[in-house]
Structure 1
Amino acid sequence: MPRRPQLPSFVGYSRVSTLQQSYKGLSLDGQQDAIRSYARVGGKGLISLHEDIKSGAGNPMLRPDLRDALKNAEHLKCAILVTSVCRLGRDLRVYDILVERGIPVWVVGEGKIDRSELKARLRAARDWLARRALQAIAANVKKSPAERKKSVPNLPHARRRGTLINAGRAEERDMKMFGIFDVNPVLLDASRKDLAQALNISGNFNIVDQFDRQEPWTERSVGRLRQRYRQHLQEQLELDDWDNAGGFG
């Protein structure tokens, strides 16, 4: 007879970017009511409940209550419970912290989220934020200087956030290249010159920005790519160890 999975205790976390979000169905009270209800039914109960009124962009450790929630969950061997993955943030550093500390994530109404799904959702949340920033920049170009200053006071910040699109494309490019290495491991032993030539001849160019601008691989760029691939393999081995130890899964 298969063993019944053990239900965890929860550390709840809720977040809104601004007080104005309370009027758009994202109120802290609404999130916390859902977390309390789910914790009673879907787990052993709620150990603590934390809230932040702060943007999900940027360094997650700058959010004091998220820091406290992660500390409690790690120390007490609990899971983090949220109403949506994007409440944790819109930055992949959240994923790195959760995996490093071995903290499982549960979502109200869904249950436990495995690490691959967690990373995919955080990446989607990050890319959504970047697209909004680019749209703000594009809309701002059409306005007069006075209108620009009034309508988008944080335009430099939006412009910086727009670079996340490039980061997302770079990650997509790397995963495509990693797939090629998985199928053709002999490429890892080739010289950088031969590797760059093989990728360029096969049409697998280096995509460098959100406009799909392509450049040939160079000896320097394939050297860095190969280094990232080896780091990727090491991370996968470590994540498999965490999964087997009962963290994400």
Structure 2
Amino acid sequence: MRIAIAGANGRMGRMLIEAVLGAHDLTLAVALDHAGSPAIGRDAGEPIGRTTGVLITDQLDALAGADVLIDFTRPEGTLEHITACVRHNVKLVIGTTGFDASGKAAIKAASQHIGIVFAPNMSVGVNVTFKLLEVAARILQETYDVEVFEAHHKLKVDAPSGTALGMGEAIARTWGKELDDIAVFDRHGVTGEREAGKIGFSVVRGGDIVGEHTAYFCGPGERIEITHRSASRVNYAAGSLRAARFLGEHSNGQFDMQDVLGLK
């Protein structure tokens, strides 16, 4: 399978390139970066001390040489990539977060033509955590107060993280609710007592934290905490490759990592 990597000169892009080079069944075919990047024209493996023969480019028509694009960039960049993927019939693994409703609608529309795995987090462990949250939410119901905490590095531009929102969505869905109707993102001043059935979110940004997420189920006399901590981005890369392989069996349609891992 021929793999293209978007954001090839970024931290996640480099990790993905290294993972693809280490996979016996995948080939690095295309490396993309934004126009004006100092990496344009350089070998994609240079930052990790490898020679790949694949030069980083900002030309999206290069995607014609790939089967699957893996994209962990920004929403505006990913939306441009989606158009090019549909044009060249290239499947897509989207790890980008921060899409608004129109962006999500564009992904859904594109999935009528190409296979897309779109998930708030590509980590296998995080997706197992989502499943555990569904079990806890089903058993504890709304008699327990739920709070979601997340921490990331200081360069992350969206908040709460896509993973934190995914945790909230897993719980809300189990309760038969829409997250938008029960989420609380802002607490300041005299807020009054906590309203039952709501899900609160809190965020830390600082240093080089890769990612930490905890869901608290707070009940009478006890508290249950379900936590996932990332020590490295390697788990995101490994999950992304599993998603790419999954798309080998799907010509079109929108999927998430729960589909990839058979957790539904």
Give the shorter-chain TM-score range: 0.3 to 0.5
TM-score w.r.t. the length of structure 2 is 0.33
* Structure showing the higher helix proportion among its residues: 1
* Structure showing the higher strand proportion among its residues: 2
Relative contact order (C-alpha < 8 Å, sep 6+): which is higher?
2
